[in-house]
Amino acid sequence: MKLLDTKGANTKLRKNNRDETIRVAGLSLMPDDKACPMRNIAGCAEPCLRYAGRGHMSSVINGRQSKLDYLYSNRAAFIAQLKSEISNFERLCSKNGVIPYLRLNVISDIKWESKAYGQIPQSFPNVRFFDYTKCANRLGNTPANYDLMFSYSPAPDYQKQVSIAIKSGVPMSVVFHGPMPTEFMGLKVVNGDNSDIENLKHKNKIIGLKYKNAQGRGINPMDSKFIVSIAA
């Protein structure tokens, strides 16, 4: 079982590969309360994009779950295989003259920088790692080659995380339903749907993302604690 998507099968990764100077790979694990510890507090469990695009297909769901089960059942073997695949990806990028970027939390929020998860970014200083996180205590505590953006939610119990993130100045993503505002919480809003790599540059700004309803989920964005609805 291959762990990394290095060919852009996931649309969340593919949009970044429009830049011919880089190549982006990613790891998609089916999120649960351990792999995504803030999802219930942030209210994003139901509108989660794990079912978006090809994510509603049983083969994709089963593949993501199998990878997560593998991590839980034999973490040492999982991490060893992951490091091997990253090494192969890094060599491929070097051969093709492109910069390797890696998103290990496509739909999860695991602390890959920690000893418990193999300190993956520290093991590959020439690879650029990036992720979105809902765990504000990770901000400012990752190695130099691992950039994080914060994922906002208006959920009341999540506001302590939001306050920490605002003070940190990292780019903050907000999912909007309705017209994209030009400003939110006193910060400029930029269109974040084109490139995650470009989004990394927008310190002290809001990364505006348009709400995308996962196929067949029937989520009402007006009822969500995670999505910010803007009146037309």
pLDDT, tens digit, 9 for 90 and up, residues 28-72: 999 999 999 999 898 887 656 545 545 455 777 899 999 999 999
Dihedral sign from CA coordinates of 99, 18, 50, 91: negative
Q: Are 46 and 23 in contact (CB under 8 A)?
A: no
Task: Indicate the number of domains in the chain.
Answer: 1
Domain with 110, as residue range(s), is 4-229
| 102: phi then psi, degrees, rounded to nearest 5 | -140, 125
State the pTM of this model: 0.89
Q: What per-residue confidence (pLDDT) applies to 8?
A: 66
- Pair type for strands 4-5 and 22-27: antiparallel
pLDDT band (50, 70, 90) for residue 197: very high
Collapsing DSSP to helix, strand or coil, 71 comes out as helix
pLDDT digits 0-9 by tens, 114-163 = 999 999 999 999 999 999 999 999 999 999 999 999 999 999 999 999 99
Beta partners for 184?
Answer: 187
